[in-house]
Amino acid sequence: MSETTKKKSIRWVEEPELGFWETTFVPAVLKGLKTTLRHVTARKTVTQQYPEVKPELPLHYRGVHRLNRDEEDRVKCVACMMCATACPANCISIQGQAAPPEWTDRDKFPKTFELDELRCIYCGMCEEACPVDAIELTHIYDLTGESREDLLYTKDKLLNVYDQTREDHRDPLRTGRGVLGPASEFVDLPALGPATSVPENDRSAKSETAGVIRTTGREGQQ
């Protein structure tokens, strides 16, 4: 691009000179008052009379959590710790316990399950990580409490939220396959081979420590 073309493509904007009335800011004030009066006299109402009128939230809204129950009214959670591991806010604490002998479909269940709603960032990663669709976020948004302990949701509180929302069309159950969801359908997993083959002369595969290659002599200078 030539210098002439560059100069033609540049638009120079000069600062406007303010007259007497502009320096008093009277026209700007009058213009602002005109905008205010237009909004005051407008008949279109934009204010919701909350809490008498509840807001209509989108279906993908993520609110208070719940722990789902299975067909036998047991907690679906199998204490695999996947949700606590995936949680970026580290607000989930689970203590697992061996399942009773009559529960033949699982090895563990949560003895305690605590979720700090004040630390949660409501990202939805816990429900995405759960292999059995045990934890989900609901449409409940009006989360209040008189102390921080009131917003520390235990297993019983989370199950109570499920009982409140199980019949609500805004919070449908995602599980549709099997008692415990997709993960319960895996019975026998096929053996997987290595993703890549390792050459016989690969020195890193023969090293004593992973990532460390010990060499001597001329080989070490290469």
> What confidence tens digit (pLDDT) does each residue in 91-124 have?
999 999 999 999 988 899 999 999 999 999 999 9
Q: What pLDDT shows up at residue 57?
A: 86
What does the alpha-carbon distance between residue 98 and residue 103 come to, in Å, rounded to a whole number? 10
Q: How far is CA 192 from CA 85, 88, 159, 195, 196, in A?
A: 25, 31, 38, 8, 12
- Return the CATH number of 65-176, one of 3.20.20.70, 3.40.50.10800, 3.30.360.10, 3.30.70.3270: 3.30.70.3270
Identify the residue with better confidence: 187 or 19: 19
Mean pLDDT of the 171-197 span: 55
Taking 90 as the threshold, does the pLDDT of residue 67 lie above it? yes
Predicted structure pTM score = 0.60
Of all residues in the chain, the percent with pLDDT exceeding 70 is 75
Instruction: Indicate the pLDDT class of residue 83, thresholds 50, 70 and 90.
Output: very high
Residue 112 to residues 97, 108, 120, 181, Cα–Cα distance (Å):
9, 12, 18, 22
Distances (CA, A) of 218 to 113, 165, 203, 215: 59, 72, 15, 9
Helical H segments across 41-97, by residue range: 82-86
**Over the stretch 128-179, which tens digit does the pLDDT of each residue have?**
999 999 999 999 998 888 999 999 999 999 999 999 999 888 888 876 544 4
Q: What is the pLDDT of residue 50?
A: 87
Q: Is residue 130 within 8 Å of residue 184, measured between CB atoms?
A: no
Q: What does the pLDDT read at residue 59?
A: 83
Model confidence at 199, pLDDT cuts 50, 70, 90, reads: low
Residue 212 CA, distance from chain mean position: 38
Cα distance between residue 93 and residue 79, in whole Å: 10
* Structure tokens given for 163: 């009982």
Delimit the domains of the chain by residue range: 65-176
Q: Which of 118, 105, 101, 116 is nearest to 77 (CA)?
A: 105
When mean pLDDT is compared across 28-37, 39-48, 173-182, the lowest value belongs to 173-182
Closest CA to 136 of 110, 167, 173: 173
Mean pLDDT of 40-46: 78
Q: Name 102's Cβ contacts closer than 8 Å, sequence gap at least 6.
A: none
Residue 140: closest CA among 31, 63, 220, 58: 63
What is the reported pLDDT for 210?
46
Q: What's the CA gap between 20 and 111, in Å, rounded?
A: 77
Question: E strands within the chain?
Answer: 65-67, 92-98, 108-116, 135-137, 152-153
